[in-house]
Amino acid sequence: MAEFKSWRSFWEFEHAVKRQMRYVRTTDTEAFLEAVGQTAGRRIEVLPVGTTLWRAQLGVNWRPDYDKDGDLVGETPWPHDKDRMKPLRDCATEGRANSKGIPCLYLATDRDTAIAEVRPWIGSYVSVGLFRTDRELRVVKCVTDYGLRRYWIKGEPDATEREEAVWAFIDAAFAHPVTPIDNVADYAPTQIIAELFKAHGYDGIAYRSSVSKTGHNVALFDLDASEVVEGQPFEVKTVELQSRAMENPAQYR
């Protein structure tokens, strides 16, 4: 059984594929991925047939509303059409678990998490789809206890602690908030790990949501592994915002 060389192994892998070599991998990168692949087998979650998942898309369809005399009196919000609730097969953008052009079905374990993941603003409308899996799925559960994200100043912990530490950093990498200004290179580490899971025959990844405390995300490699069975429009009424002061404040004169 392969072991992680260090509790810092994910950091070293991340730096290598973002700043040094991505498509031709170093010996250390290959060793890291081998350890990830072997230890992933201990983190498999089986989703039974009929598992309920959710997906949200910004926007709704508007249909005209007529009174009994046939006069137009307004518009009624409806969810997006069924096809719109899945990603386009030939237009996939960069994502945490997929490269451009290779689509992935991003879902959530509850409705509120799905809505939060599309980063809506107050007053915006969101189409929410209820999905059900049509076969048993085996996903790698990257969700860990954040308390395991420990640091060692001197020396290395034992193999078990190194493994738990590395997987905590993998979890944090998948959960890291995605923004429109993210550099493509920022996606490289998680995309490579996702492709590793796909190559091992797993159906997807379960990972923590950075914007919800009620559920987590599930990314499925096969767009047909789960089908939308119901859609509903929602209006966002409140958005909770929290901030954290960063280091190095500047004094202006």
Q: Which of 125-129, 183-187, 221-225 has the lowest mean pLDDT?
A: 183-187
Q: Which of 216, 39, 188 is nearest to 99 (CA)?
A: 188
**Quick one: pLDDT at residue 147?**
46
**Quick one: pLDDT at residue 198?**
95
What are the residue ranges spanned by the domains of the chain?
44-181+193-235
Given a cut of 90, whether residue 149 has pLDDT beyond it is no
Check: CB of residue 133 under 8 Å from CB of residue 50: yes
Task: Name 62's bridge partners.
Answer: 77
Given a cut of 80, whether residue 145 has pLDDT beyond it is no
Cα angle 88-94-100, degrees, rounded to a multiple of 5: 65
Better-scored residue on pLDDT, 253 or 190: 190
52-72: per-residue pLDDT in tens?
Answer: 999 999 989 898 888 888 878
Given a cut of 80, whether residue 253 has pLDDT beyond it is no
Q: Which of 173, 179, 10, 16 is nearest to 94 (CA)?
A: 179
Q: Which of 43, 30, 84 is nearest to 174 (CA)?
A: 43
Q: Which of 96, 99, 79, 124 is nearest to 230 (CA)?
A: 79
Given a cut of 90, whether residue 203 has pLDDT beyond it is yes
**Quick one: pLDDT at residue 182?**
59
Spatial CB neighbours of 159, under 8 Å, sequence gap ≥ 6: 3, 4
What does pLDDT average to over the chain? 86
Better-scored residue on pLDDT, 5 or 141: 141
Place of tokens 């799925």: 137
Better-scored residue on pLDDT, 167 or 250: 167
60-119: per-residue pLDDT in tens?
Answer: 989 888 888 887 888 888 899 888 898 887 777 878 888 888 889 999 999 999 998 888
- DSSP element (H, E) containing 72: strand 72-78
Q: At 45, is the secondary structure helix, strand, or coil?
A: strand
pTM, whole model, 2 decimals? Answer: 0.86
What stretches of 110-153 show up as alpha helix (H) in DSSP?
111-117
**What would the mean pLDDT of 231-251 be, rounded to a whole number?**
80
Main-chain dihedrals φ then ψ at residue 125, nearest 5 degrees = -105, 140
